[in-house]
Amino acid sequence: MNICGFNRNRVLPEAQENNVKKHLPRPLSRVNGWSPPLHSFQALTWTTYLTMSIVTFGIFIPFLQTTWKRAANIVMGGVFTFHLIVHLIAITIDPADNNVRLKKDYMKPMPTFDRSKHAHVIQNQYCHLCEVTVSKKAKHCSSCNKCVSGFDHHCKWLNNCVGRRNYWFFFCSVASAAFGLLGMMIILLYVFIQYFVDPDELRTDPLYKEISSENIWLLFPSLWPVPVKTPVVLSIAVMVLLLDIAGFVLLGHLFLFHIYLSMYHSSLATLVHLS
């Protein structure tokens, strides 16, 4: 029933539709992952990173014995810091083709592609949208509105294209994230096993000497101790472990896939060189 007497699904006549398109603002090319519009996956990425950092260094590493606690802080701190650096670099780098970065005006709106004049966006290494000559392995990304050198894919998690200029930073970001999740998994499994074998081994912090009840555990003992009961700690550990396993499976699969691609391209290049 049309309560307001207005048909929201009606289709404009072709002449009017073309007229509307002419008055729509033409899109701009995006420089990198910080260029608008930002993607919701970015917020999810940073939220997950912060959450994992807080629970790893604030909750679960403090359960380890003193020697292992220091080693875990150093190793996990290095992995998390390295991941943060390469992830930021992969986002910030402009992966566009050299001629695009040198000759293209990013503030200039993109022209409208006319398929009646050109069958493809790039023909004879000339991009009709970027209006520059590009390299052989360049591809025009519709999300970033520019040609990317050595285009691999457009990553929604980075909100940026992955190409020749930032591929290895992307690869290191995936690898460090996978190793970080693996390290968290090992720590969590140790905490679970030790809790059922000998929970006193998890209560090594000096603050536990002031607590008489074995049902009370401390979160963030190094900064601001928060006493909670056993079910709270176990619930947090289970949720984090499930999230950890899911992330590790996905990132591990992506990591192995890109290793396979690297080996495949290396073998192919060797065969071409020998022939």
What is the distance between the alpha carbons of residues 65 and 173, in angstroms, rounded to a whole number? 30
- Under a CB-based contact definition with an 8 Å cutoff, are residues 161 and 141 in contact? yes
What distance in Å separates the CA atoms of residue 262 and residue 181, rounded to the nearest whole number? 23
Report which residue type is found at 226. V
What token pair was written down for 247? 């992330």
Instruction: Please answer whether residues 61 and 69 qualify as being in contact, where contact means their C-beta atoms are separated by less than 8 angstroms.
Output: yes
Helix (H) or strand (E) holding 47: helix 40-55
Pairing state between β 132-133 and 139-141 = unpaired
Q: Do 155 and 148 form a contact (C-beta atoms < 8 A)?
A: no
Q: Which of 130, 147, 155, 161 is catalytic?
A: 155
Check if 141 is active-site.
no
Contact in structure between 130 and 27 (CB atoms under 8 Å): no
**Residues known to be catalytic:** 155
